[in-house]
Structure 1
Amino acid sequence: MGRLKPEKLSVEFRKGVTPKEPIIPRRYTLTHCDSTAELFLTIGEEYARDKINPMRDEVFGEWVQVDGKCIYNVYLYLDGGEFTFTVISIRDGIFRRELPLALEAIRYGDSEFFKIHPELNNAPIMVYFQSSDPRYNKVENWGCFSQYDSRTVLIDEKKFRVSNKEEGTIVTLLNPYIENVIFRIYGRNERFCLAEVEIGGIEEVKTSDRCRPNYDVFVTLKVGNDPRPLPNLIIGFRIMPNRIVVQSVRQPR
């Protein structure tokens, strides 16, 4: 996930909503185009369901009032009849990686609104990960809009700050291990683009030696010419001070 590029963001205000009012009802629909990296933010009294695509990768958000205080709710659709449980885990990782960018886009796209209502910069953001699998069906507090002016990745209730350069360094470090996995699965070096390999999660592993931390990392990538936009290979690694171990390999269907 990269930082927001304002020139890639388009904002549309629909009937009943202006750049300044109202607070409630005020609903946000954020969608994107994979091929151009463009983001499309629609703000209205209702969600822009006409913008939803079959991949269901939109981000819904709305302002609600609880006990007299405003809260921003986010709704993420992780599964449905067309998604297997393996794909659910991938989508969960992708949403977690990309949500900080989505929140930054929402705050930037509705910046005039936040200027008029500055108190909302510190309103809690509650994220609803919606899934039929109880392992992924969660509600989490993701802070407030004032903190989404820099990259923050939230994974399993832990915050990691990872720059684009650091992410690229990790992927480059893992490249020979990725190539070896691909060779073992496909029997030859199938085509893949290293620049398109994405980190789906990073978590520190508890060890007895705090001076020699270990990390679990999983990456997602597309191998070959599969026309589907979802990754078709997920590899889990454990990175230790003296070695790297491949822990899991999955091929979503």
Structure 2
Amino acid sequence: MEKFSPSKLHVCYLPPATAFRPVERRKYTLTHSDETGELFLSIGHDYDLSTVNMNVRDELAAEWLPQLGQYVLAGKFHISNGEYDQQYAHARYLIFQREADRALSALIYGDREFFSHYPWLLDSPIYIHFDSIYPEFHKMFYYGTPRQYLQKAVGPLTANS
């Protein structure tokens, strides 16, 4: 797995979204370039479908959702809705599992200013859904908290971070 490199991340806010709003239903679309290794993060009220290659569907889509009195960062990787056979779906599943840590590091780091406005979200749970018609690849996993990903990218966070 390639390590997350902040210098390869490009962030775009989709108006009216800003670094500090909205919280609820704040959506992230993370795509990448296979040629350059660059990552592209769009943050807005809606997913940035203009950046998604609908033939490949290798983006991470995520959003903040209220759940049982707290916010949860819920993400999704598209594995297969039948357009890929089971063998290729398995390969996609393994690739997304391998790249999830880097993708989440980019997403959290790219929106780090947001967390300075809402530091209590640093300890919110992150769940990623692997979406597939094949039951063995249709799963949801807990991926820690935003604090863990920011600490990897920028170092230990203090109580005021």
- 1:130-209 → structure 2 map (5 Å cutoff): 130-148=131-149, 149-150=151-152
1:17 and 1:43 in contact (8 A); partners too: yes
More helix by share: 2
Letter in 2 for 1:97: R
**Alignment partner of 1:28 is 2:28:** yes
Higher relative contact order, chain-length normalized (CA < 8 Å, sep 6+): 2
1:3 and 1:150 in contact (8 A); partners too: no
Equivalent position of 1:86 in the other structure: 87
Q: For residue 70 of structure 1, report the CA deviation from its aligned partner.
A: 0.4
- Runs (4 or more) in structure 1 with deviation over 3 Å come to none
Letter in 1 for 2:132: S
Q: For residue 19 of structure 1, report the CA deviation from its aligned partner.
A: 0.7
Aligned length: 151
- 1:204-243 → structure 2 map (5 Å cutoff): none
Encode CA deviations 1:38-60: one digit per residue, 9 max, x unaligned: 00000010001111112110000
With structure 2 as the length reference, what TM-score do the two structures score?
0.90
Q: Note the aligned Cα RMSD (angstroms).
A: 1.3
Encode CA deviations 1:146-199: one digit per residue, 9 max, x unaligned: 112439xxxxxxxxxxxxxxxxxxxxxxxxxxxxxxxxxxxxxxxxxxxxxxxx
- Quick one: distance in 2 between partners of 1:145 and 1:112? 12
With structure 1 as the length reference, what TM-score do the two structures score?
0.58
Runs of 5+ consecutive residues of structure 2 not aligned to the other structure: 154-161
- Quick one: distance in 2 between partners of 1:142 and 1:25? 19
Equivalent position of 1:7 in the other structure: 7
Rg comparison, structure with higher value: 1
Runs of 5+ consecutive residues of structure 1 not aligned to the other structure: 152-253
Letter in 1 for 2:19: P
Q: For residue 137 of structure 1, report the CA deviation from its aligned partner.
A: 0.6
- Quick one: distance in 1 between partners of 2:52 and 2:4? 21
Encode CA deviations 1:215-241: one digit per residue, 9 max, x unaligned: xxxxxxxxxxxxxxxxxxxxxxxxxxx
Equivalent position of 2:158 in the other structure: none
Letter in 2 for 1:83: Y
Equivalent position of 1:204 in the other structure: none
- Quick one: distance in 1 between partners of 2:119 and 2:98? 27
Query: Which piece of structure 1 moves more, 77-86 or 96-105?
Result: 77-86
Q: Secondary structure at the match of 2:135?
A: coil
Equivalent position of 1:121 in the other structure: 122
- Quick one: distance in 2 between partners of 1:114 and 1:101? 19
